[in-house]
Structure 1
Amino acid sequence: MRDFGAIGDGKNLDHTAINEAIGSCSSAGGGRVVIPAGTYLCGSIRMKSNVDLHLTAGATILAAPSELKAYDESEVFGAPEYQDGGHTYFHNSLIWAEDQSNISITGHGRIDGSGLTKRDTEYEGEALGGSIGTGDKSIALKNCRNLTIRDITIYNGGHFAIITTGCIDGTIDNVTIDTNRDGIDIDCCKFFTISNTKVNSPNDDAIVLKSSYALKKPVTCEHILITNCIVSGYKLGTFLDGSFIPNMPGWGCGRIKLGTESNGGFRNITVTNCTFMWSCGLALEEVDGGVMENIIVSNISMNHIHHYPIYITTGCRNRGPEEETGVSTAKNIYISNVVADDVDSLSGIIITGMKDAPVRNVSLSDVHIRYRGGRDKGDGVYPELGKRYPEPSLLGPTPAYGLFARYVDGLTLRNVTFELASADGRPETIFENVTGCNIQ
C-alpha cells in the first residue's frame, strides 16, 4: 500500500493512494490490497471487482471530516425518492461499490467513521429526499454480486455502518460494530448470510432487512439467514471498550427488524441462535404494500428489553408510487424457543393485521417472557396502525400485558407462558377479530 504513496499517519489523506492500489489490482485481474498497521485518513474508497481490501491488525481507516470535502459527489438518482437520502445515494460513502463482483473487505483492522454524519438529509428535521452532501455511510454496496465482509470492526459508522442494496450472494461474518445509527441494513438483496456478528446500536436498529424503493421498483428481500449474532443497546463505545454501560431506552434500539421500508416485501427469512441485550425486541413490519412470508425465528435469548419483546404488524403507510403499491400482507410466520427476561411493561407480544387483510398463519411455540409489570388496567383500547409509522412506543401501552392480537387468521400458541415481576392490572391476553386460534 505504501508503494502507492499511503502514509498512515492519520493526518494526511490516503484514499487516493488506496484507490490507485485497488484500481491497479483489479486491472491486473484481482488480488489483495493490504492496509498495514497505521491510521489512514480517508475520503471515498472505491471498491472494484475481484479485490479483497484487507485491513491488518492495527490498521484503521479513519473517515475524514466533512470540511475536507474528501467524499465523492452523490450520484444522480433521477426519480422520485420514496426513501431517505441514506438509502438513495451511495457514492458519498467512506467505502463504496456499484455494479462490481467478487469483492471483499476483511481483516482484524478497524473502520472508524467518526468523520461521517448520521443525519438522514442535509437539513435537520427533513424526513425524505436529497443527498446529505457529505459522507454518511461506512460501507455502501449497490448491485454487487458475491461479496464478503469478514472479521473487521466498525466504530461510529454514520447513518449506516454497512448497507447493501440490490446485491446477490453476500456473507457478513465475525464482524463487530459499535455505532451511532443502524448497524447492518440488507435492502432488496438475495442469498445473504449474516453470522457470528455483534452489533451495538444504542440509537437505531442493529440488524435490519429492508425492501425499499431505492432501485426504482419493488424488489423482494429474500433467502436471508441471520445466525449466531448478538445485538445490543449499550452506550456508544462501551461495547468496544468493555465497560458495557446500558443506554437509556430510545428509538428502535439495538434490535433485529424486518422493515420499515417494505415495498418489495420479505420472503424465506431465517433468524436463529441470536441474543438481544438492553435493546428493543424482534420486529417484523410490512407496511409499504409488499408481502412478508415464510419467516422462521428460533432459539432467541433476550434480556433487558425495551418497549416490546415481539412485534408483528402490517399497515398502510404505503411509501411508494400509488399505482404500484398493493395491500401489505403477512403470512406463515413461525417463532419458537424464545426466552426473554426483564421486558418493558409497555407492550406485550403484538400481532396485528388489518381488517381486510389479516395476518395469516402465525405460530408461537416454547416462548417464555418475564415482564416487569406494574401498569394499571387502562382503558382496554389500542389504536390501529393505519398509516402511522410502525413503532409500539408511539402507540402507547397494549391493553394486555402478555399478548395482544388483532385481525389474525390462524394463530397457534404452544407452551407460551408469561411471568410478572410485579402485579399488572391488565389481562394476560386479548384477542380481537382473531379466527382459527389454536392454544395448547
Structure 2
Amino acid sequence: MINWFDIRDYGAVGDGTCIDSPAINRAIQAAAAAGGGAVCVPAGIWLCFSIRLASHVRLHLDAGAIIRAAVPGAMGAYDLPEPNPHNMYQDFGHSHWHNSLIWGEGLTDIAITGPGMIDGHGLTSKGPGAKWAKRKGYFPESMAGMSAAELAAEDPEEAAMQGQGNKAVALKNCTQVTLSDFTLAKGGHFAVLATGVDHLTISRLRIDTDRDGLDLDCVRHCVVSHCRINTPNDDAIVLKSSLALGQVRPTAHVRIHDCHVSGFDPGSMLDGTFRRTQDKAPDQDGMTGRIKLGTESNGGFHDIEITSCTFERSRGLALETVDGGMLTDIRVSDITMREITTAALFIYAGARMRAPEGTPPGGIRGVRIERVRATDVDPRFASIIAGQVGTPVRDVVLSDIDITYRGGLAALNVPVPEKPDAYPEPSMFGPLPAWGLFIRHAAGLRVQGATLSTTQADGRPALWLDDVEAVHFEQVDLNNAAATPPLVCRDVRGLTGEMVP
C-alpha cells in the first residue's frame, strides 16, 4: 500500500502567486521519513523554486497540476550550483545539478509521474561554456559569421548564473529512476539532465522546450520509449559521456524506441499548431530536434539501440565521438525521417579532444543501420561516414536504406576540408561534392539494399569515397535525372559488389 502525501497538507497554496516549493519539500521529506511514498501535486498552479527529491519517494502530478518555475528575484532564487572540481571539459550546464527546478543526487527508487505538467517559464536556457583553455570546437562552424556580442550572449559569465534555474529536472548518481506520463514545457538549458544514472526508465513524456530535451550523460541500463519531443533549437534526445563525474564512464545498454522528435516552432507541438515560422537554430543551421550520440564523448558509447522512431523537420541521426571515447555496438532500425535540415545520417569520429592532455582519440566500430526511410533531405549534405587519417570508422553496415534528397545543385569542384578539432556537425565541411553518400577514412563498410534519389536533377555524383578500404556495395539503386557519374573514388582499396545506376 502506497502512503500518499498531499502538498496542501504541508502549506502549499497553488494559486500561481505564492511560492510553494518549501511546502512541496516538506511533503517530500515527510514521505522519506515515513520510509517512502507518493507526494501528490493536485490540480493548480504551483509556483516553485528548487524542489529536492528524496529516495523512495514519487512526485506525482495530477491532471491539471502545473509546477511552474518562478522567476528569481524578490520572492526567492534557485539552489546555487554546487562545487564541482570536474568542470573543466564540459559546459556549466553539464557540470551542476542543484541549480534546477527539480533535482536529486545519490538517490535510489525515485519517480516523477504525470499526467500533470512541469512548466519551466522562469528558467534560463543560457549558461557558460567549458573552462577548457583551448576552447577549440566549442561553437559550431556554422556560427562563424556571428558577432562577438551575439556569441557572448550564448556564453554568459558564471556569476550571472547565481540564483538562476538552469534545468527543469536534474539527476546525478541515482538508480532505479522512473520519469513517465508528464508534459514538460520550456525546460531551460536541459529539460531533463540525467548524469551517472543507472536503471532509468523514461516513457510517454511530452516535451516542448528551448534547448535539449533529454540529456542522458554516463547512463547505464536506460529505456526511453513513446516520447514526443520538440526542440527546434537543440537536440531532442541526446546521449553523452562527459567527464562531469570526474571519471571516464561510457553510456551503455540504452534502448530508445517508439519516439517522435521534431523541430517545429517552440511551444507549437503542445498547442497543436506545429508552426514553421522559425527557419534556423541558434547555431545558424537548420532546425535541430534530432536523436544524437555526442558531442561530449569522453567515455564513449556501447550497446545502444534506436528503433521505430520518427524524425520530422529536424536534423538527421548523428553518431559522434570526438573527445576520446569509443563508439561500439550501435544498432539503428525502422527509422522514418521527414523534412531533414542537414544530413540524414552523420557517423563521425573526430579529434576535438576536450579531454585531459595525452588522451588518445577514440573511434567508431560496429554500427548497423537498417530500414531507414528519409524524404525531403537538405540537398547540400549527403549522408556522411567519416573518420580521421589513420583512425578510420570501421565496420559500418547500411541495409535497406531509402533516402530522397531535394537535389537541384550544380557540380561542386572544391576540396572537402579536414577539421578534426571542430565542433561536429554535418555542415562543418560545407556543401559536399556528392549528393547521396560521402565516405572518408573508413574501412570494412557494407551498403546493401539502398535506394538514393533526388527529386530534382543534381550535377554532383551520388557517391564520393576517399581513403576507404574494403567497401562492399550490393543492390545500390541511384536515381538522379542528371547525367553525372555515379561514383568518385580516391584512394579506395578493395571495392566490391554492384550498383544499379
**Mapped contact 2:378–2:406 kept (Cα < 8 A):** yes
Paired position in structure 2 for 1:132: 161
What is the aligned counterpart of 1:49 among 25, 34, 55?
55
TM-score (norm 1): 0.97
Distance between the aligned counterparts of 1:413 and 1:430, measured in 2? 13
Superposition map of 1:225-236 within 5 A: 225-236=255-266
Distance between the aligned counterparts of 1:364 and 1:128, measured in 2? 44
What is the aligned counterpart of 1:355 among 373, 380, 389?
389
What is the aligned counterpart of 2:207 among 160, 173, 177?
177
Distance between the aligned counterparts of 1:110 and 1:303, measured in 2? 28
Task: Say if 2:112 is the partner of 1:81.
Answer: no
**Mapped contact 1:83–1:129 kept (Cα < 8 A):** no
Distance between the aligned counterparts of 2:399 and 2:308, measured in 1? 15
What is the aligned counterpart of 2:418 among 370, 374, 384?
384
What is the aligned counterpart of 2:186 among 145, 156, 168?
156
2:316 aligns to what SS in structure 1? strand
Q: Which runs of 5+ in 2 are unaligned?
A: 1-6, 130-151, 475-501
Distance between the aligned counterparts of 1:318 and 1:128, measured in 2? 24
Distance between the aligned counterparts of 1:170 and 1:234, measured in 2? 28
Superposition map of 1:271-310 within 5 A: 271-310=306-345
What is the aligned counterpart of 1:72 among 66, 72, 79?
79
Distance between the aligned counterparts of 2:393 and 2:326, measured in 1? 11
Task: Say if 2:190 is the partner of 1:192.
Answer: no
Distance between the aligned counterparts of 2:421 and 2:257, measured in 1? 32
Task: Say if 2:287 is the partner of 1:257.
Answer: no
Paired position in structure 2 for 1:37: 43
TM-score (norm 2): 0.86
**Mapped contact 2:86–2:245 kept (Cα < 8 A):** no
Amino acid in the other structure paired with 1:362: V
Deviation at 1:80, TM superposition (A): 4.6
Rg larger in 1 or in 2? 2
What is the aligned counterpart of 1:116 among 91, 115, 123?
123
**Mapped contact 1:121–1:131 kept (Cα < 8 A):** no
What is the aligned counterpart of 2:444 among 406, 410, 414?
410
Distance between the aligned counterparts of 1:57 and 1:132, measured in 2? 33
Distance between the aligned counterparts of 1:195 and 1:417, measured in 2? 29
RMSD: 1.4
1:277 aligns to what SS in structure 2? strand
Paired position in structure 1 for 2:246: 216
Distance between the aligned counterparts of 1:416 and 1:141, measured in 2? 41
Task: Say if 2:8 is the partner of 1:2.
Answer: yes
**Mapped contact 2:402–2:450 kept (Cα < 8 A):** yes
Deviation at 1:128, TM superposition (A): 9.2
Deviation at 1:171, TM superposition (A): 0.3
Q: Which runs of 5+ in 1 are unaligned?
A: none
Deviation at 1:356, TM superposition (A): 1.1
Deviation track 1:195-221 (CA, whole Å, cap 9, x = no partner) reads 000000010000000001101121100
2:433 aligns to what SS in structure 1? coil
**Mapped contact 1:141–1:163 kept (Cα < 8 A):** yes
Distance between the aligned counterparts of 1:79 and 1:227, measured in 2? 32
Q: Say how many residue pairs are matched.
A: 439
2:100 aligns to what SS in structure 1? coil
Distance between the aligned counterparts of 1:385 and 1:16, measured in 2? 50
Amino acid in the other structure paired with 1:105: I
Deviation at 1:393, TM superposition (A): 2.1
What is the aligned counterpart of 2:360 among 311, 326, 344?
326
- 1:107/1:80 Cα in 2 relative to 1: closer, same or farther (>3 Å)? closer
Distance between the aligned counterparts of 1:211 and 1:127, measured in 2? 24
- 1:145/1:315 Cα in 2 relative to 1: closer, same or farther (>3 Å)? same
Distance between the aligned counterparts of 1:69 and 1:307, measured in 2? 42
Distance between the aligned counterparts of 1:80 and 1:205, measured in 2? 22
Deviation at 1:271, TM superposition (A): 0.2
Paired position in structure 2 for 1:17: 23
Distance between the aligned counterparts of 1:403 and 1:261, measured in 2? 25
Distance between the aligned counterparts of 1:193 and 1:100, measured in 2? 19
Paired position in structure 1 for 2:195: 165
2:23 aligns to what SS in structure 1? helix
